[in-house]
Chains A and B, each alone.
Chain A
Amino acid sequence: MRLLLALTLLQSAVRSNLQYAALSTLRRLPLDPGNPAFLHRAVQGIACADPVGVRHALAIVSELATREPYAVAMAVDKIALSGGTLQEVLQLHDVLARVYLARLCFILSRARVLDERPDIRSQYQTILYQLLLDPSERVCFEAIMCILGKFDSNERLEERAGGWVMLTTAILKFPDAPAPVSNSSQQAKDGAGVPSKAAKERPASRPRRPQALFKLVMRRLESAFRSPIRPVLHAAARVVQEMGKSRAAAYSLRGYAVDEDSHPDTLVDNASSDLANSELEQTDAEVPRNKVAPLSSASGGKESIHSMLSSLKEAVRTTVACECVYVRGAAIKALIWMQSPHESFDELKAIIAGELSDPSWPASLLNEILLTLHARFKATPDMAVILLELATLFATKVPGKIDSDVLQLLWKTCLLGCGPSGKHTALEAVTVVLDLPPPQPASMSTYHSNKRVMAADPKSALALQKLVQAAVWFLGENANYAASEYAWESVTPPGTALMMLDVDKMVAAASSRNPTLAGALTRLQRCAFGGSWEVRVVAAQALITIAIRSGEPYRMQVYEFLQALAQGASRHSSLEMATNGEDQGASGTGLSSILSPMIRLLDDVYKAQDELIRDMRNHDNKKQEWSDDELRKLYETHERLLDLVSLFCYVPRAKYLPLGPTSSTLINIYRNRHRIDASSGFNDPAVATGISDLLNSQLQYPPPMIEKDEPLVAGLSDGLWTGSTPAVDMVNEFLVGAGTDAPDVEEENALPRTSISYDDMWAKQLLEASENEDVELQSSGSSSPESVASYSTTTSSHFGGLGYPSLFGGSSTTNYSPWEKQLSSQPTGRVSNISMDLSSDQPPDYMGASRMGAQRQSDTFMGHSDSFDNLPDDMMGRVDDDYQPQETPQFGKALYDFTAGGDEELNLTAGEELEIEYEVDGWFHVRKRKPGRDGKISGLVPVLYVTS
C-alpha cells in the first residue's frame, strides 16, 4: 500500500516536472496563432500542478488572446473556466501568474467577438474584479490598469473612457457557492493537487457583500500610499496617473461622461452596500461600455466619487514628500493628470515650484514631466492656460535642465489647440522666457531671482540661451498665427500705411489694432538689440518673418526698425566685414549681413507698391485700360517678389500679394486672360516644389548687374540665374526648409499640395544634404568657432533650416582656405557688395542674386565643391580663376625638424623642400615632394618651421 502511494507520488512528481518543462519550452517557442494544438496545450497548462508552469501557460494564452480572442475564450471556457481552474489561479502563490490571468480576463471580457456570449464575458469580468482583492499590489494594480483600459502602449480613447466608466460604475459581486464546489471537484478530477492553500482560504462560507469597484480601488490605493516601500509608492502614483488619463478621456468623449453635466462635484457614487440596487447595476455593468451612468439615479451614497478622489489626491500630495525623486516625479505626474480644468491649481503650482528648486532632479525626469504636461493638454485642451503657467515655471526655474525642443512642442500644441481666446496667453508664456536674464553679465543686474543659477552654472547659461533662441524663433514663426494677422487677409491698403510714416503714430496704431502682435514685435525688437549674437540673429529673422506675413502697419514698423538697426550697424561695417560678421561686442549688432537682404526685400516691395499706385492713378486719370504688356509687367513683378518672399519664410503663394490687396484685381485679370491658374499650378509637382517657377522665370529676369571687382560673388550668382541645377536646388532648400515649419499657415490656407511623394522625395534629399553639411561642419575641426558650428547644427535641425548657413557659413569654417585666402585678399569686394545692398537703389534682382550668391559661396565652404561639376562652363572658368592661388603654388623649405603631434600634422626634416598649399591659424598645409618615412606626403606644419 505504502509502495503504491509512493509510486503515485513519484508519478505525479514526474508528471509535474515534465509539465513544467514542456510549458517552459512552449513559452520560448514563437507564438503560433491559428494552431489549435498549440492553443490546446497552452490552455491545458493552466491546470498544471506547477505554479511556474501555470504562469507560462497563462502568459502564452493571454498573448494568444490578443490575436484570436474567440478561439481562446472557447478553449479556456471548455477546460479552465467551467472547471473553475481559473478561480484556482486566484489563489496561486505565483504573482506573475495572477498578473497574466488579469490580462487574459481583461482581453476576453472586452473582446468584441464575444458580444453574443455575455455570460462568458461576465465570468471573465468577475474574475478580473476579484483580482482587485489580491494581496499582492502588483496583481491588484494590474487589474486596475486593465479595468482602466491601459493594457498596452496603444492608447485608445474610447477604451480609456470606457474604463473610467467601468471603474466608477461597476460593482464587484462575488461568485456564489458553485464556484468553490466545482473548484474542488475539478481538483479531485485532476488528481494532481493545485498547491495547497488554494481552496481552503476560500470556503465561501458566508456570501460576501457586493462592493463598488471604485471604493475598493480607492481604499487600496490610499493604503498603498501609506506604504513605506518606494516601489509600491511609485506604482501607486502610476496607477493614479493612468486613472487620471482615463478620466480625462471620459471627459473629452461626451458619450462616456460618467456625470451628465461633466462636473465631478455633482457625481455621487451610490457605492453603498444596497444589495438590490447593486444587483440592478450589476446587470448594467455586465453590458460593456454602458454609456448611461445608472448611479446618478440612485442617490444617497455615503461618499461621492469626487470626495474619494480628493482624498486620494491628498494621499498623492503627501507622497511628494518622499525623498526619492522618481517617486516624487511619478506623484507630480499623477497630480497633473488628476488636476481637472475647473479646480484651482494653486496647490499644484506651489508643489511644482517647490520641487523645481531642488537641484537633485535629473534633467530627463523634468523633461518627462513636461511631456506629461503636453499629453495632459492634448487630452484636455481647456487646460492650456494652467499648463502653460506650469511650463513657464519650468522655463524660469530650471532653464538649464529642460530641453528647448520639449518646451517648444508644448508651446506649439497649446497655441494650436487652445482656441482663439487662449492664443494670447500661449504667446505670453513664450515671451516670459525672453524675460529671463540673458546670459550676459551686464544686463543681469536687473534680475535677481536667477542670478545665482546663472553665476553658478555656465552650462545652464548656455542652455538658457538656447531656450531664448528657441523662444524667439517660435515667436517669429507663430506670432502671426497667434495674432490672426496675415498680410493676405489685411484690410489696410498699402497707401494708408505709407502716409503715416510717423513712427509713434504707427506704433500706436499697431498696438491698438492688435496688441498680441504688437507685443510680440516689441519683444523681438528688444531681443534684436540685446542678448547674445545668436539670439539677435534669430530675432532679426523672426522680425522679417513677421514683416512678410503681416499687413500694415506692422510691416512698416519692422521696416523702420530694421533700417535703424542696419544703419546703426553700418557705421561699423568695415570692422565687421574684416572679421566675417562676427560680433564685436557692444559696438555693433553684428547683423548687417543678415539685415541687408531683408531690407532690400522690403525696399523692393514698397517700391513696387509705390509704382503700382502711381500707375493706377495714371490709368485712372487718363481713364485708360491696362494694356496686356503693362499687366504682364505687373504680374512678373508680383511673381518675382513672391519668389523672393518665399526665400525668407513660407507664405501661401496663391493668396499672398506682395503688391498689396489692390493688385489682386489686375493680377486676376492677367491670370484670366492668359489662363494662369494660381491654384492649379500647384498640381504640377514642379510648381509645388518651386522649381518650374524658377526655371521659367529665368528668361523674364533682366541679367543681373555684375561688378568686375567681385568675381566670386557675381560669378556664382551668374551661375545661379542661368538656372543651373544645383543652384535651383539650393533655392528650393530655402523653400522647402521654410515651408516645413509653418503648419499654422498651411492649415489656414487649405490649399492641398497634391504631390506629397514628390515633396517628400525632395525634402528627404535636401535633409540628407543638410545632414551631411552638419557632419562636415562638425568634423571641420577645432579651428571653427564652436558657437557657429553648434549653431548651424541646431538651426538646421530645430529651426527648420531657415537658411542660416548662407549667412554664416563664410565665417564658420577654415578648411577651404583657398577660398578664404581669396576672400581675405579682397575684403573690399565684399564690403562694397554689402554696402551697395544697403544703398537701396540697385535693381531688385541683384539683391536676390547676391543673397543667393552668398548662399552659394557658403555652401562651397561647407564642402560642396563637387557641385561645381554641374555648373556651366563660363562659371567653371570663373571658378578656375578663383582657384588661381592654388595653381601658382608657393614653395618653402623646412627650417627645423618637426615631429607630428597628431594625424593631421606632418613630420619635417630640416632642409626639406615643401609646397605650401594654404595657411590655417598659424599652420601651413604643406605637400612634400615625396612621401616621408611615415608614408605621409601632406599635412599641417607650424608656420614658423617653414620659410616661405
Chain B
Amino acid sequence: MLMCVLFTNTAGNILLERFQGVQAEERLHWRSFLVKLGTDNLSGAHNEELFVASHKSVYVVYTAIGDISVFVVGKDEYDELALAEVLYAITSCVKDICQKAPTERAFLDKYGRVCLCLDEIVFEGTLEHTDKDRIRRLARLKPIAD
C-alpha cells in the first residue's frame, strides 16, 4: 500500500499531498515527521539523491529535485526499493512537466498538470503507470495505445 505522496518546498511547506489509508489524526504525525526528515537531511543533498527512512514496517523514500522535496511512504509490497521506483516515476514526470529541475514557482505554475500526472502514477494507494509516454497520454485523456 502506498500510503502517502507528499511534495514540499525547501522551507518545509507542503505543496501537494496524497494520502491513502491513513487516518486524519495520523496524517498530522506523518506530515510533521516527513517535513522534519526533509529539513534534517535534504539540505545540501544532490538532485534526485535518494534518502530512506523507516518506522516499524513502513518505509519512506524521499528526494529533492530543484526546490521541491518529494516524499513517498509505503508498506507491504511497497518497500524502499519499490518506493524508489515510484519516486523515480514521479520525479521524471515532474521534470518533464516543469522542463528542468523545478523551482517552486515553476512547480506551482504547472500544479494542475502535476496533479493529473500524479493521479495516473498513484491510484488508490497502488502504483499504476510508470511509463512517461503513457502518463502523458492518459493525462490528456487519450487511450494508452492507438
Stretch at the interface among A70-78, A224-232, A263-271, A618-626: A224-232
In chain B, residues 54-108, which have Cβ atoms closer than 8 Å to a Cβ of chain A?
54-57, 59, 61, 77, 79-85
- Tell me if A330 is interfacial: C-beta within 8 Å of chain B: yes
The size class of the interface chain B forms with chain A is 20 to 34
Please name all residues of chain A whose beta carbon is closer than 8 Å to the beta carbon of B83 when the two chains form the complex. 231
Does B81 contact A231, Cβ atoms closer than 8 Å? yes
- Tell me if A273 is interfacial: C-beta within 8 Å of chain B: no
- Tell me if A440 is interfacial: C-beta within 8 Å of chain B: no
Q: What are the 9 tightest A-B residue pairs by CB atom distance, in nearest-first order?
A: A138-B81, A231-B80, A13-B145, A230-B52, A231-B84, A234-B52, A326-B53, A231-B52, A17-B143
- Tell me if A132 is interfacial: C-beta within 8 Å of chain B: no
- Tell me if A251 is interfacial: C-beta within 8 Å of chain B: no
- Tell me if A368 is interfacial: C-beta within 8 Å of chain B: yes
Does B129 contact A232, Cβ atoms closer than 8 Å? no
Nearest chain B CB to A42's CB is how many angstroms away? Answer: 16
Q: Of A20, A96, A136, A364, which is within 8 A of B127 by CB?
A: A96
| Distance, CA A20 to CA B143, complexed state (A) | 11
Supplied contacts A231-B83, A324-B51, 9 more A-B pairs, CB within 8 Å: A16-B145, A17-B143, A50-B145, A94-B130, A95-B82, A96-B85, A138-B82, A153-B57, A229-B84
- Tell me if A452 is interfacial: C-beta within 8 Å of chain B: no
| Distance, CA A330 to CA B52, complexed state (A) | 11
* Chain A residues within CB distance 8 Å of chain B: 10, 13-14, 16-17, 20, 24, 27-28, 50, 52, 94-96, 99-100, 136-138, 141, 153, 229-235, 238, 324, 326-327, 329-330, 364, 368
Please name all residues of chain B whose beta carbon is closer than 8 Å to the beta carbon of A329 when the two chains form the complex. 54
Closest to B51 in A: A230
Please name all residues of chain A whose beta carbon is closer than 8 Å to the beta carbon of B128 when the two chains form the complex. 24, 52
Closest to A231 in B: B80
| Distance, CA A100 to CA B126, complexed state (A) | 13
| Distance, CA A368 to CA B53, complexed state (A) | 13
| Distance, CA A655 to CA B106, complexed state (A) | 79
Chain B contact residues, majority secondary structure:
mixed
* Chain B residues within CB distance 8 Å of chain A: 41, 50-57, 59, 61, 77, 79-85, 124, 126-130, 143-146
Does A50 contact B50, Cβ atoms closer than 8 Å? no
Does B80 contact A235, Cβ atoms closer than 8 Å? yes
Please name all residues of chain B whose beta carbon is closer than 8 Å to the beta carbon of A16 when the two chains form the complex. 144-145
Does B77 contact A96, Cβ atoms closer than 8 Å? yes
Does A95 contact B85, Cβ atoms closer than 8 Å? yes
Does A231 contact B124, Cβ atoms closer than 8 Å? no
Does B79 contact A138, Cβ atoms closer than 8 Å? yes
A-B interface contact total, Cβ < 8 Å: 73
Closest to A330 in B: B54
Please name all residues of chain A whose beta carbon is closer than 8 Å to the beta carbon of B41 when the two chains form the complex. 324
- 29 interchain pairs, CB-CB under 8 A: A10-B146, A13-B146, A14-B143, A14-B146, A16-B144, A17-B144, A17-B146, A50-B145, A52-B128, A52-B129, A94-B130, A95-B82, A96-B82, A138-B85, A231-B50, A231-B80, A231-B81, A231-B83, A232-B84, A233-B52, A235-B80, A238-B79, A324-B41, A324-B53, A326-B52, A326-B53, A326-B54, A330-B54, A364-B55
| Distance, CA A14 to CA B143, complexed state (A) | 9
| Distance, CA A703 to CA B61, complexed state (A) | 71
Does A232 contact B81, Cβ atoms closer than 8 Å? yes
| Distance, CA A706 to CA B6, complexed state (A) | 70
| Distance, CA A235 to CA B128, complexed state (A) | 22
Nearest chain B CB to A103's CB is how many angstroms away? Answer: 8
Q: Of A50, A96, A234, A235, which is within 8 A of B144 by CB?
A: A50
Interface centre among A100, A234, A327 (most CB of B within 10 A): A234
Nearest chain A CB to B85's CB is how many angstroms away? Answer: 6
Please name all residues of chain A whose beta carbon is closer than 8 Å to the beta carbon of B146 when the two chains form the complex. 10, 13-14, 17
| Distance, CA A497 to CA B130, complexed state (A) | 80
| Distance, CA A27 to CA B146, complexed state (A) | 24
Please name all residues of chain B whose beta carbon is closer than 8 Å to the beta carbon of A324 when the two chains form the complex. 41, 51-53
| Distance, CA A576 to CA B81, complexed state (A) | 63
Closest to A139 in B: B81
| Distance, CA A153 to CA B52, complexed state (A) | 22
Does A137 contact B124, Cβ atoms closer than 8 Å? no
Nearest chain B CB to A372's CB is how many angstroms away? Answer: 12
Please name all residues of chain A whose beta carbon is closer than 8 Å to the beta carbon of B52 when the two chains form the complex. 230-231, 233-234, 324, 326-327
Closest to B57 in A: A153
| Distance, CA A14 to CA B144, complexed state (A) | 9
Does A28 contact B124, Cβ atoms closer than 8 Å? yes
| Distance, CA A74 to CA B57, complexed state (A) | 34
Please name all residues of chain A whose beta carbon is closer than 8 Å to the beta carbon of B55 when the two chains form the complex. 364
Please name all residues of chain A whose beta carbon is closer than 8 Å to the beta carbon of B80 when the two chains form the complex. 231, 234-235
Interface centre among B127, B143, B145 (most CB of A within 10 A): B145
